[in-house]
């Protein structure tokens, strides 16, 4: 009987962690539908130019290929501007993106604005 009690107690201790992981869902993800590999992706509150960390550093190879998805870290749902960087120092902006909890949002070539060459 004591072994069963220990097993039940261990299950009750493990359960809250499992539930919180399930409650988090898949998180917020960027889907790169641009024609090139993204080397840098940073977010700012709209119109503020207060850029957060480079989210591509969270990827295995530190880049987001065409048609690849990237899970964003420490980003709350809301509206943002994005700074998108490519190899060769090309940089573009995407304005007023709506980011929803546990959802995928995409960036495509038509969304890119104010690109330097």
Assign residue 106 the CATH number of its domain. Answer: 2.60.40
Q: What residues contact residue 44 under an 8 Å CB cut-off, 6+ apart?
A: 50, 51, 52, 80, 81, 82, 83
In-domain check, residue 18: no
Domain tally for the chain? 1
Q: Using the predicted structure, report yes or no on whether residue 117 has a pLDDT greater than 80.
A: no
Residue range 11-41, pLDDT digits in tens: 444 444 433 443 458 899 999 999 999 999 9
Q: What is the pTM of this model?
A: 0.78
- The whole-angstrom separation of Cα 30 and Cα 72 is 7
Residue range 67-98, pLDDT digits in tens: 999 999 999 999 999 999 999 889 999 999 99
pLDDT of residue 24: 57
In-domain check, residue 6: no
pLDDT of residue 84: 98
In-domain check, residue 46: yes
Residue pair 28/102 in contact by the 8 Å Cβ criterion: yes
pLDDT of residue 26: 86
In-domain check, residue 96: yes
Range of the domain at 61: 26-111
Instruction: Give phi and psi for 34, each to the nearest 5.
Output: -75, 165
At residue 92, the 3 state secondary structure works out as strand
pLDDT of residue 7: 46
In-domain check, residue 10: no
């Amino acid at each position: 009987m004591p072994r069963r009690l220990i097993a039940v107690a261990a299950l009750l201790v493990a359960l809250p962690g499992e539930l919180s992981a399930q409650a988090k869902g898949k998180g917020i993800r960027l889907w790169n539908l641009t024609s090139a590999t993204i080397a840098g992706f940073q977010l700012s509150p709209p119109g503020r130019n207060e850029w957060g960390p480079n989210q591509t550093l969270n990827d295995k190879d530190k880049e987001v290929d065409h048609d690849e998805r990237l899970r964003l870290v420490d980003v709350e749902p809301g509206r943002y501007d994005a700074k998108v960087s490519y190899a060769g120092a090309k940089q573009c902006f995407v304005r007023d993106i709506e980011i929803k909890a546990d959802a995928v949002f995409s960036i495509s070539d038509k969304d890119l604005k104010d690109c330097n060459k």
